[in-house]
Amino acid sequence: MHTTDFHYLPSSQNSQIFIAHYAPLEQSEAVGASQAVIFVPPFAEEMNRSKRMYVLCARLLADAGIHSLCFDFSGTGDSSGEWGDFDYADWKNNLIDVFQFAKKITSNISLVTLRDSALISLNLIKRADIQIDKCVLWDPIDNGDALIRQLVRMKIASAMASDLKKITTKEVLESIEQSGFLEVGGYYVSADLIDQIKVEKISDSIEDVLALTEMHWMTTGKSNSNSAVIPICLSKLNLTDVMLKKLTMHTVNDVKFWMQQEVTISPLLLRETKQVFVS
């Protein structure tokens, strides 16, 4: 059992960060010492598609004795401000603010991320003043450029569906240069934000992170194999045996919920994530 409390946390960006705190009614022996897990939201429409899974996972962990925190970045969801008023640097600072909020609950803090929110989260872990116990990555994006390419493809598909007119990647990029933004799915992504996202890479952070934190990389999708392999973006790095011992790869034979148009649940992913935190 758990309780649910809602907070508006003043941020360093002069906005109010909405936080839903799912608090256990009692400590579970299976969990041991007090823990808190922060669920870091992904970008734009994937944020909306992940809310149900995040809440379900938060409740699942809270019922098992773990404090769980779901929040919205400034200018998104139930947090104050407007989309477009904040950038990647602001959202990184939002996560620091939420971390400081969690520290008032316990010093044993972990993260759950989806897609591009892994990029923001790994930047947090690298900080000398931040200590993260575990980091669970749901289908992480290797680099920010991949996210931008995805948005461009979505723009092309949307144009074809609405106007029956084929546009090219070159035309989309030229439009961004001329207008200063990319409009896709009702979100206006500024050229400055695009430039900030494009330079983010997991490979730039992973060695520092694995020296500090236990990481669980979870890849979903229908597969006949239960074996998990290290992704290409990591296999090219010179990871030591000590680092590799802190990295656990999970292949979860479940639907990629964040790709579905309708709200979709991935129960096996929920179960796999719970097992990371509950012995």
**pLDDT confidence of residue 50:** 93
Tens-level pLDDT at each residue, the chain (279 residues) = 899 999 999 998 789 999 999 999 877 666 666 899 999 999 988 998 999 999 999 999 999 999 999 999 999 999 999 988 899 999 999 999 999 999 999 999 999 999 999 999 998 888 868 899 999 999 999 999 999 999 888 888 877 777 667 788 888 888 888 888 888 878 898 999 999 999 999 988 888 888 889 999 999 987 665 556 777 778 778 788 888 888 999 999 999 999 988 889 999 999 999 999 997
Which run of H or of E encompasses 268? helix 267-277
Question: φ, ψ for residue 33 (rounded to 5)?
Answer: -65, 155
**Domain 2-142+201-277, CATH homologous superfamily name and number:** Alpha/Beta hydrolase fold, catalytic domain (3.40.50.1820)
Angle at 153 between CA 151 and CA 159, to 5 degrees: 105
**pLDDT confidence of residue 127:** 81
The answer to whether the beta carbons of residues 117 and 135 sit under 8 Å apart is: no
Q: Which of 119, 135, 169 has the alpha carbon at shortest distance from 37?
A: 135
> Domain map of the chain by residue range?
2-142+201-277, 144-199
Q: Is 128 helix (H, G, I), strand (E, B) or coil?
A: coil
